Structure 1
Amino acid sequence: MPDVSAADLVLTGGRVHTVDARDRLAEAVAVRGGRIARVGTADEVAPLIGPGTRVVPLDGGSVLPGINDSHLHGVWLGAMWPNLLMDQLAASGGHAHEAPARLETAEDRRRAILRTADLLASLGITSYTEPGLGPGEDGGPSGCFGSGALRDYAELAAQGRLKARVTALMLFGELDGRSTAADLLAGLRDFTPPAGVPGRFRVAGVKIFADGIPPMRSAWTDRPYTDGSHGALLVDGGSDGEREAALRAMIDAAHDAGHQIGVHATGDRATRVVADACAAALGRDGRDARHYVIHGDLLAPATLTVLASNRIGLNTQAGIPVATEPMLAAALGEDALRDAWPLRDALDAGVPLCLSSDSPVLTPDWRAGMAAAVTRRGLDGAVRGAAQRLALAEALRAYTAVPAWQDGEEDVKGSIEPGKAADLCVLGGDLFAVEPQALPSVPVAMTVLDGEVVYEA
């Protein structure tokens, strides 16, 4: 029987990009009780308009699923904004950067989180992953990454003050620094994260730092740097073999404890070992754990095959290659560019691909990230890695449907389909009607979370 009860909100007269399995387009969408009630033509949705329905004429604008930034440091972003790390590095010639004042108290952290909440709502972002908060950073210099931030998120979520769904990963080592298998095992045993708040906050798993980054010659590589070195893992150990064994033990322990694992890995040797270790852990029990590699600057074709065949995701930032490719080439030589940020190759291999900002490293504006993925063009106008370009629809899916998969919530969000959460990004134009480089100019008109308008221009 047709559903004839009135909707709370109807958006009509535009282009609704559902990002469903067939990338279907519609003209209108109706929301009732925080869920998508109907998607279709304007005439098909019109019967759900009642006396109390708010009707928003799109006037040629468009509707997307709520954007999911699947790797964004929310506390750090709130402390830094509008200063972005990549901008500061570029301005300083790749050297020093301005650090924010240390967040000393819970109130400091909460102000930063709420500042980020307002900023992300204005960008149409309805979900994000906070990738690494925990006791490993309780004495950290910024105060942005300690275990107290997990409690702050949980309390703000319980108070209804978050404007996005937040997924967090625990951190038992230093941010971008050393870690030990012993510390991770102790953390898994002794640390109890705060309980989740349904629909708003949950702790999904563990973040592990495998290595550094190629431009700093701290990524662990098979090919030598121009100075003859190969970098090393950040995990403690007296040799490469001991460090690799410790990293594998950490992945095994986190997997066996039932956690999702996100591993920062950038060098081709580090990404290969991480992929093999995650595949081995998954092979023991067949659990659908949704583990993923973070950044993945250098990925050999064989590593992509391992990722794809084991449904291990890749979470990367399209803005980083267009900004740092010359630095990578200077560190490792031009030949390294063959395996550098292979987004097209990863997608073609069947790797679950998420695009994210790593903000405040890059801007949290996903439109800029999509433009970088589609054009591979930097701010200087140079195109870098043109063969790895994505189609616009693929980039959009990597900011919506695939991050929902990473979160284990593809049945709840990530596409505009009846029964799913009404998380929507409403634009004042259509991304598919402008030149790719102009994507950031398409304005965000409204953001809807669980059917509630959390931002309106």
Structure 2
Amino acid sequence: MNIDLILRGGRIHTMSAVGTTDAVAIHDGRIIALGEDALRLDARVTRDIRGKTVLPGFIDAHAHSVWFGLTLVELDVAPARSLDEIYALVAERASDTPAGEWIVGAGFNQMSVGNRYPDPDRLTIAAGGRPVWLKHTSGHACVLNRAAMSETGVYEAALRGVEGGRIVLDERGEPTGLLEEQAMRLVQDVMLPYPLARIEEALEAATAHYVSEGLTSVTDAGIGGGWIGHSPQEFSAYQNVLARGSLRTRQQVMPESSTLARHGEPGATGSFVGFNTGVRSGLGDDRLQLGPAKFFLDGSILGATARMTEEYHHCAGSHGYYQGNRDDIRGHALDAGRGGWALAMHAVGDEAVDLAIDIAHTLRAEGITPPMPHRVEHGGVVRPEQLTELAEAGLTVIGQPRFLTLYGDGFREFIGDDRAEWSFRSKSLLDAGMSLALTSDRPVAPGAPLSVIESSMLRRTESGHLYGAHERLTIDEALAAYTTGPAQVTGWAGRKGVIAVGALADLAVLGADPCDVLPEEVSDIPVAATVLGGEAVYDPEGVIAV
């Protein structure tokens, strides 16, 4: 029998006890042999990769594929370094936008423009009267101009307030255009849902970009509802793009918690929280699967909305807030866990992490085993004693070390250097016995895996500050945290994230070995090819393809 493919002549990091090898044999989408065993087989295609390095395909366990894909076509204001530059970008987009249509921008970060926010009147002038919606890079806030505030009812809502969010007012009591957390629903109720075709276009663009960076599996951390969803049909968009062969990466998706509803009377036989059909985490296959349910407990550090036990340095008396009533969030999460859902709990502040631990401990005490691991997303501040509590609750923290490179100086301003030592942990999670998955949270931050890996080893801010030196990873630990670690966290241990007999044939072929370069050079390593299920999905130089 001729098998499909043999790759030879390179350094293959298996991320297993085998260590490195020099050949891998692939058939029917899976790895069937390594080393000398592989070279004894006959293949329809044999490729000498001429000294290149092969790793398991990278796995990003927390990104936002639809959101990221949309940013590729929306106005990008991230490069702006002053408010005047933002107004100029809006004016330029307005020149190509029909009168009355919305101008939608992405990537706004007040820290990039002197910790200031756009003036709603200046935005209105720049847009020629068109409504403007600028999304904060964190995803936890947005800025509207006067026209947009009028169309979305912001002025009326400011009089009654918003639970789990805030409409920021100026000294005269007038809305500034800044909406935080649940207040963003005002604009989303007008602008959403996006058309299905636009979401499909976004997915095609996002996954095509992913494979150019060696990514083969991505978890979309919140679809279908809440302030992070773009349409109740988002899962249908995934199915449609997969069916026509344009979904380039394997995808696991997290339905946002508001999409789950109670069915039946609480406590009655057959009562559960979930979808009408009873579908829950784990449904699907290796190409498209339902992951955990996404629960937002709090907000973000840069928005000062993450729930902290101690107050923010820049805002006396402010501890951030939960995204709704704490007891209601807890009850809904427990009911979902009892209904068979794994939980992915967005908890940035340490007080929110306490709530996540409590929820997981309660489910474990009830003897409920999730279909895949429960998780804490972000863990912006994790106190020392919480490390043991997280491990005992069966949780791990899904972190984003790239945040430190881009936003670390701002974090220190908001939470101070003492709490920064407990912030966005990596090494201490491993030391506490937890699985470690490094992720991008793209498009909140640029998400190339090699750049995230580099950040996890350096932990240097833009000013050069060493942010939590004790949390730095070695290259071996960092590579594992983008392969075997996220495979474990997403319920695919042994089948993804490893080059082993029986595993999915997902590979990243690199132009240099990350183990052979300086930490600050890792992000410069080129991705030569990406293989998904034995097929080259990215191969600009013909390294794999015939």
| TM-score interval (norm. to shorter) | 0.7 to 0.9
Q: Deviations over 1:391-444 (max 9, x none)?
A: 111111111112111221113211000111101111121111111111111111
Q: Distance in 1 between matches of 2:477 and 2:437?
A: 10
CA 76–19 in structure 1, closer or farther in 2 if over 3 Å, else same: same
Q: 1: distance between equivalents of 2:109 and 2:193?
A: 20
Q: Distance between the aligned counterparts of 1:16 and 1:89, measured in 2?
A: 43
Please report how far the alpha carbon of residue 286 of structure 1 lies from its aligned counterpart in structure 2 after TM superposition: 4.4
Change (3 A) 1:93 1:153: farther
**CA-CA distance at 1:23 after TM superposition:** 6.4
Cα distance between partner residues in 1 of 2:501 and 2:439: 26
Counterpart of 1:402 in structure 2 is: 485
2:67 to 62, 66, 76: 76
Contact 2:360 2:394 in 1 (8 A): no
Residue 215 of structure 1: SS of its match in structure 2?
A: coil
Structure 1: which 5+ residue stretches go unaligned?
237-242
The answer to whether structure 1 residue 49 and structure 2 residue 42 are counterparts is yes
Instruction: Indicate the RMSD between aligned Cα atoms, in angstroms.
Output: 2.7
Aligned partner of residue 36 in structure 1, secondary structure:
strand
Greater C-alpha Rg:
2
Q: Which residue of 2 aligns with 1:310?
A: 393
Structure 1 position 379, deviation (Å): 4.2
Question: Conserved in 2, the CA contact under 8 Å of 1:133 and 1:171?
Answer: yes
- Matching residue of 1:234: 323
Match of 2:252 among 167, 191, 203: 167
2:112 is the counterpart of 1:25? no
Give the 3-state SS of the residue equivalent to 1:315 in structure 2.
Answer: strand
State whether residues 206 and 261 of structure 1, in contact with CA within 8 Å, keep that contact through their aligned partners in structure 2: yes
Instruction: Give secondary structure in 1 for the equivalent of 2:40.
Output: helix
Between Structure 1 and Structure 2, how many residues are aligned? 430
Counterparts of 2:223 and 2:285, CA distance in 1: 19
Alignment equivalent of 2:364, drawn from 282, 286, 301: 282
Query: Once the two structures are superposed, what CA deviation does each residue of 1:250-303 show, in whole Å capped at 9, x if it has no partner?
Result: 221110010111011011111122112212212211414400000001001221
What is the correspondence of 1:4-23 to structure 2 with a 5 Å cutoff?
A: 5-20=1-16, 22=17
Question: 393-402 vs 22-31, which deviates more?
Answer: 22-31
Contact between 2:108 and 2:134, CA under 8 Å: does it hold in 1? no
**What is the 5 A alignment of 1:249-398?**
249-288=331-370, 289-398=372-481
Query: How big is the shift at 1:145?
Result: 2.9
- Picking from 220, 232, 241, the partner of 1:130 is 220
Q: Comparing 254-263 with 96-105, which one deviates more in the overlay?
A: 96-105
Q: Which runs of 5+ in 2 are unaligned?
A: 79-105, 119-132, 137-190, 267-271, 541-546
**Per-residue displacement from partner, 1:282-333 (whole Å, max 9, x unpaired)?**
2211414400000001001221112212321211101112332332232233
Shift of 1:90: 4.7
C-alpha distance in 1 between matches for 2:480 and 2:245: 28
Q: Is the 8 A contact 2:273 2:336 kept in 1?
A: no
Report the Cα offset of residue 380 of structure 1.
Answer: 4.3
Identity of aligned residues (%): 29
Q: Distance in 1 between matches of 2:262 and 2:297?
A: 12
C-alpha contact 1:15 1:26 (8 A) present in aligned 2: yes
Q: 1:127 to 1:342 in 2, by over 3 A?
A: same
SS for the counterpart of 2:450 is: helix
User: C-alpha offsets along residues 82-114 of structure 1, whole Å, 9 cap, x if unaligned?
Assistant: 846668555333446944997731111100100
Instruction: Indicate conservation of the 8 Å contact 2:57/2:483, yes or no.
Output: yes
TM-score, structure 1 normalization: 0.87
C-alpha spacing 1:420/1:303, structure 2 compared with 1 (3 Å)? same
Distance 2:304 2:29 in 1: 48
Following TM superposition, by how much is the alpha carbon of 1:81 offset from its aligned partner in structure 2, in angstroms?
2.6
Letter in 1 for 2:233: G
